Amino acid sequence: QVVNGDKESVDAILDNETVQAVGFVGSTPIAQYIYGRACSNGKRAQCFGGAKNHMIVMPDADMDKAADALVGAGFGAAGERCMAISVAVPVGEKTADALVERLVPRIEALKVGPYTAGDDVDFGPVITKASQDRINGLIESGVEQGADLVVDGRGFTMQGYENGFFVGPSMFDRVTPDMDIYKEEIFGPVLSQVRAESYEEALKLTMDNPYGNGTAIFTADGDTARDFANRVNVGMVGINFPIPVPLSYHSFGGWKKSAFGDLNQYGPDAFKFYTKTKTVTARWFSGIKEGGEFAFKAMD
């Protein structure tokens, strides 16, 4: 059953005594609100919020494969997915320059259009006019705050779809953590590149971000990959894999402000979330001697 409505409808669900568990996927402020209200009413809740997924590219990585991965993970579904890679973090100036050299022609070659065009389209429109305006506004803010707009997707239009909610692909280089395009989840076809001088700086950047849904590292060194996987405070980690969505028998879920609740989606956690433990203690009186017992039964 689908129930349409706004905050009033949501609150009615959260306050209803017959509802025992609540799952949610959306923005972080709403996830936090729903989690708090559901829990205050004694309900079990798992609420998943925003993301700002980083992909570190080490100097020893295969640059062509890293560039292909960034294009697919950053611009697929017009960037409107919680596991999109929105921040590339190359380690070293040479790595950053090599990535830009490969990314720009790939991004400029992306085909934008209606999904009715089939395989001739790489991604379609964003969800609403408000989303389109917000994305374009964030691109403007990136330019104003000093980032290098190396691919400009502003002003994209398509003949016959002039009123469509299309946004062309954009890429920023030399982004810094104080810029709005870094701090906010754009949720659109925009890739930001933040240059790091060292692996430790790249790792710290990822760990200091308030979101912790997914992350990835591209490297040819197993020790670096293992160190990254062990230390990074993010829920889903990819090694030479840009969108680390686990198979369904594992659990999906982020850390930090990307998730509220102690259980993830699907996998073993789903069984725990959607079921309750019941313990039954029984005995039958046939063959039991009369008289009270005043101690717990012990194992023989």
* Beta strands per DSSP E along the chain: 21-25, 44-48, 53-57, 85-90, 148-151, 170-173, 190-193, 211-212, 214-218, 236-239, 255-256, 259-260
Annotated catalytic residue 82: yes
Catalytic residue among 22, 58, 63, 82: 82
Report the SS3 class of residue 181.
Answer: helix
Report the SS3 class of residue 119.
Answer: helix
Residue 184 DSSP label: S
Q: Are strands 148-151 and 170-173 parallel, antiparallel or unpaired?
A: antiparallel
Residue tagged 């509802």 (tokens): 19
Q: For residues 158 and 113, is the Cβ–Cβ distance under 8 A?
A: yes
Residue 243 DSSP label: S
Residue tagged 């259009």 (tokens): 113
Please give the Cα distance from 75 to 71 (Å, whole number).
6
Residue 217 DSSP label: E
* Beta strands per DSSP E along 27-102: 44-48, 53-57, 85-90
- Supply 261's token pair: 């609740």
* Widest pairwise Cα distance in the chain: 91
Half-sphere exposure of 129 (CA within 13 A, CB side): 3
Report, as residue numbers or ranges, the catalytic residues: 82
